[in-house]
Amino acid sequence: MIEAIRTQARNLLENKEVDVIIGYAEGSDSTRTTPVFIRKPEEVSRLIFDPRCINSLPLYLNKRHEYPQKGWKRTGIIAKGCDIRAITQLIAENQLTREEVYIIGVPCDGVVSHFSKWDGRLHDGNQATKCAECDVHTPTDCDFFPGERPEVDRSAPYKVSAPQVLNLMGLNTDKRFDYWRQEFDRCFKCYACREVCPHCSCNICITDRTQPNWVDQAAHTKGVFAWHITRAMHLVGRCTGCGECTRACPMDIQVDLFNQRLKDVVQESFGYKSGYSQDEKPPLITYKTDDSEDFIQ
Amino acid sequence: MKTATLQKSDIGKCLDLLIQSQKRVIAPQLRPRLDSPDAIDVLMLTPLENGDNHQVGQGILPLNGVKEFLFVKHEPILAFENKDNKVHIKEVHHKYPETIIFGVRPCDAASIASQNAVFSSDNAGYNDQFFTKRLENTTIVTYSCTTGDQSCFCTSVGLEPDSDRGSDLHLTELPDNTLHVEIKTPAGERVANILAPLLQGEGDQAARDTAGKEAHKNVSRIRNSHLIKAWLDDQSNFDDEMWERLGEKCIGCGACTFMCPTCHCFDIVDETRGSKGYRIKFWDSCQFDHFTLHSSGHNPRDKQYKRYRNRFTCKFKIYQDKFNAQGCVGCGRCIRDCPVNLDITEYMKEVDLKASLPNALRQDPDFE
């Protein structure tokens, strides 16, 4: 599989169809991989793909990362099914056009939930929970795919993938608040959850604005809650559930539980699943006269 | 130097004795969390209520270092109120409880001197009373490492897994499940006095040295850091191609800096509610895109790779030049917790290679 991908990558670079290929390379130790930018055909042998390739690379396609200023007219990208959903969402939000990206889809059986759990193979004990619910092991939309791509029915609604979402929703609000207060006590606002997110698109985040200072910058209870609630609300109907925010959190806070819950709410209220259509706009950034109004009492 | 022996199984009793003597005792504990298939076991330095369930000597490193107990994440430094058209400034009174941090790893203990160099040394030219008062009331009980993980690199920056720098009372695990106890300072002696009922005779110095040498062998990530400072001093390397090549993938979060035991940057902001408020000091990160943003809109570090260049330079040059202290203690947190596997030791390797090349080769345009 990887040989076919490397050959295609080499052809694309040699024929100047793309300026760069964003993919995965071996990391600095045996449990890790790292994002890599391949610009020369002779470097394609660095490309790899296996269950350690956790990162969601489409984040580098967000305009916030200034890829157009780098002179990338067309970007090749190695993408798992979930990454392609992120790309689809970026296109729906005008972060890039379909023509600007060349998607090299990869068949993916799942990735590990955390690099420290890698023991040489993927199994039930180390697979990320999102992968068990995944309906894009074979990706939806790509320009190149090594092998056959059978049609898959993807009309089923999202499932809540983390049991903690259900556990938390089963608690009363006071207890749920206590849970988050305890978890957020560790947050020091490094913003890894923001920076790793393919869909955080603002050039200047509202938390970084100081005139006026909308969100308290210090990592006290108020500042931390204000940030995480803002983050969750700004991603409503846009988050494609890659789980990178939780993985990136150095303090091991499961911040994506918010997003998973809101994913259900959006589906119940608007019947919308993010990352499946380049044309359909996320419900909270559009207005429709027949939108449900049952929240107005 | 006084030494003693302690049974490893008595650590819980030690913690109990210290808690009973009205000290705030902080030690590594497994963090409780809701069940999750994705869960990983996480050690955190936590204030204890009793000596049960401690994880002293277990695992590699707690997620948080001692930093957050000295240079805290956020604190008010003064209070103000606008009354009768006048601004009234009030001092804030923090509590500085007598604290014992038990089971600190040598890298974290060594980092305290680096923090102190910034917050109170003559080089810094200022005494941050919040930091120094906390430090005065804190006793550090270190616990030598027996091994390292794939990210540890203390031996590459002049430390050892059994170093006792920054330690008041130093514990080293011996193969017979006892601990070699070394009393390093008067504060350590006071702790030893409280623990006296559990301490036996003199320690076995030879066994302790052998254990340290064994541990040294288990730190596998080894880089040569001796040439880095001189290479960074050479200003022509400021625009070396390496910075952009290695740093391109950096996404600009502050995980490495906030996890780092020697990173010390902070910001100050006034938080006002109505007519009164607090001036708050809180952690900041040189990796943030607005860190050096001028009010004119100009930013001298306008690209992410330049921000990481600053971080690397801070660790291996600025710290030495400005504070005469060690910038990196090799704890590996910035490697473990980087979402994109940006690895400071890759920079170290690359710089070492560049610095050790003969000049003629370096100037050859065909050489890569």
The residues with which B104 forms a beta bridge, in sequence order, are B142
Please enumerate in sequence order all residues whose Cβ is within 8 A of that of B46, keeping only pairs 6 or more positions apart, or say none. B26, B27, B28, B29, B31
AA letter at B84: D
Q: In this predicted structure, which of A186-200, A251-265, B70-84, B274-288 has the lowest mean pLDDT?
A: A251-265
Between chains, do B253 and A190 touch, taking CB under 8 Å as contact?
yes
A53: in domain: yes
A62: in domain: yes
Mind listing the pLDDT tens digit for each residue in A132-143? 888 888 888 899
Q: What is the Cα–Cα distance from B23 to B97, expressed in whole angstroms?
A: 8
Q: What is the Cα–Cα distance from B253 to B163, expressed in whole angstroms?
A: 31
Q: Structure tokens of A269? A: 């209220």
Chain A residue whose CA is closest to B349 = A28
Our CA angle for A21, A23, A29, nearest 5°, is 140
Tell me which residues of chain A, numbers 133 to 192, contact chain B at a CB-CB cutoff of 8 Å: 162-164, 167-168, 179, 186, 188-192
State how beta strands A75-79 and B2-7 pair.
unpaired
- What is the share, in percent, of chain A residues with pLDDT greater than 70? 98
AA letter at B33: R
> What confidence category does residue A72 fall into, taking pLDDT thresholds of 50, 70 and 90?
confident
Does residue A243 surpass a pLDDT of 70?
yes
- Chain A positions touching B68 (Cβ under 8 A) are 188
Closest CA to B167 of B203, B190, B195, B140: B140
Q: Are residues A59 and A123 in the same domain?
A: yes
> Distance (Å) from the C-alpha of residue A265 to the closest C-alpha of chain B?
22
Q: Are residues A179 and A260 in the same domain?
A: yes
Q: Are residues A63 and A9 in the same domain?
A: yes
Hey, is the C-beta of B150 within 8 angstroms of any chain A C-beta? Answer: yes
So what's the pLDDT on residue A288? 81
Strand order in the sheet with B74-83: B86-91, B74-83, B276-283, B266-273
Tell me which residues of chain A, numbers 190 to 219, contact chain B at a CB-CB cutoff of 8 Å: 190-192, 194-196, 204, 208, 210, 213, 216-219
Q: Are residues A173 and A53 in the same domain?
A: no
> What confidence category does residue A164 fall into, taking pLDDT thresholds of 50, 70 and 90?
confident
> What confidence category does residue A290 fall into, taking pLDDT thresholds of 50, 70 and 90?
confident
Q: Structure tokens of A9? A: 């990558």
Interface test with B, best of A52, A190, A203 (most B CBs within 10 A): A190
Closest CA to B330 of B109, B68, B104, B151: B151
What is residue B271's DSSP assignment?
E
Q: Structure tokens of A99? A: 């023509």
AA letter at A69: Q
Considering only CB atoms, B341 lies closest to which of A27, A164, A191, namely A27
State how beta strands B43-47 and B24-30 pair.
antiparallel
A141: in domain: no
Q: What is the Cα–Cα distance from A145 to B242, expressed in whole angstroms?
A: 33
Which run of H or E residues covers position B109? helix B106-119
Hey, is the C-beta of B297 within 8 angstroms of any chain A C-beta? Answer: no
Indicate the number of domains in chain A. 2
A143: in domain: no
Q: Which domain covers residue A13, as residue numbers?
A: 2-132
Residues A245 and A197 sit within 8 Å (Cβ to Cβ)? yes
Mind listing the pLDDT tens digit for each residue in A204-215? 999 998 888 888
Residues B42 and B30 sit within 8 Å (Cβ to Cβ)? yes
A156: in domain: no
Q: Are residues A90 and A200 in the same domain?
A: no
A144: in domain: no
Please enumerate in sequence order all residues whose Cβ is within 8 A of that of A187, keeping only pairs 6 or more positions apart, or say none. A219, A224, A227, A228, A251, A253
Where helices occur in A98-203 by DSSP H, the ranges are 129-132, 163-169, 173-184, 192-195
* Number of Cβ atoms within 10 Å of the Cβ of A297: 3
Q: What is the Cα–Cα distance from A206 to B107, expressed in whole angstroms?
A: 36
> What confidence category does residue A222 fall into, taking pLDDT thresholds of 50, 70 and 90?
very high
So what's the pLDDT on residue A267? 87
A297: in domain: no
Q: What is the Cα–Cα distance from A162 to A144, expressed in whole angstroms?
A: 32
So what's the pLDDT on residue B363? 59
> Distance (Å) from the C-alpha of residue B192 to the closest C-alpha of chain A?
31
Q: Structure tokens of A122? A: 């993927």
Q: What is the Cα–Cα distance from B322 to B149, expressed in whole angstroms?
A: 32
Between chains, do B36 and A36 touch, taking CB under 8 Å as contact?
no
Bigger pLDDT: A166 vs B59: B59
Between chains, do B252 and A195 touch, taking CB under 8 Å as contact?
yes
So what's the pLDDT on residue A269? 85
Report the C-alpha dihedral over residues A124, A129, A133, A139, rounded to 10 degrees: -90
Side-chain-side CA neighbours of A72 within 13 Å: the count stands at 27
Cis status of the peptide bond prior to A212, with omega within 30 of 0: yes
> Distance (Å) from the C-alpha of residue A247 to the closest C-alpha of chain B?
8
Q: What is the mean pLDDT of residues A276-296?
A: 82
Chain A residue whose CA is closest to B273 = A216
A72: in domain: yes
So what's the pLDDT on residue B191? 96
Between chains, do B343 and A31 touch, taking CB under 8 Å as contact?
no
Q: Are residues A255 and A188 in the same domain?
A: yes
- What is the share, in percent, of chain A residues with pLDDT greater than 90? 63
Helix, strand or coil, per DSSP, at residue B283: strand
Mean pLDDT by 10 residues, chain B (368 residues): 91 96 94 68 92 93 94 96 94 94 97 95 84 96 95 95 96 95 96 95 92 93 93 95 94 96 95 93 95 93 95 96 94 96 96 83 58
So what's the pLDDT on residue A284? 86
Q: What is the mean pLDDT of residues A184-198?
A: 95
Of A132, A152, A187, the last residue of a domain is A132
Helix, strand or coil, per DSSP, at residue B39: coil
So what's the pLDDT on residue B243? 96
AA letter at A235: L
Residues B72 and B26 sit within 8 Å (Cβ to Cβ)? no
Hey, is the C-beta of A252 within 8 angstroms of any chain B C-beta? Answer: yes
Please enumerate in sequence order all residues whose Cβ is within 8 A of that of A115, keeping only pairs 6 or more positions apart, or say none. A27, A31, A32, A52, A54
Q: Are residues A227 and A124 in the same domain?
A: no
Q: Are residues A167 and A121 in the same domain?
A: no
Between chains, do B339 and A29 touch, taking CB under 8 Å as contact?
no
Domain assignments of chain B as residue spans, ordered by start: 2-73+83-217, 228-363
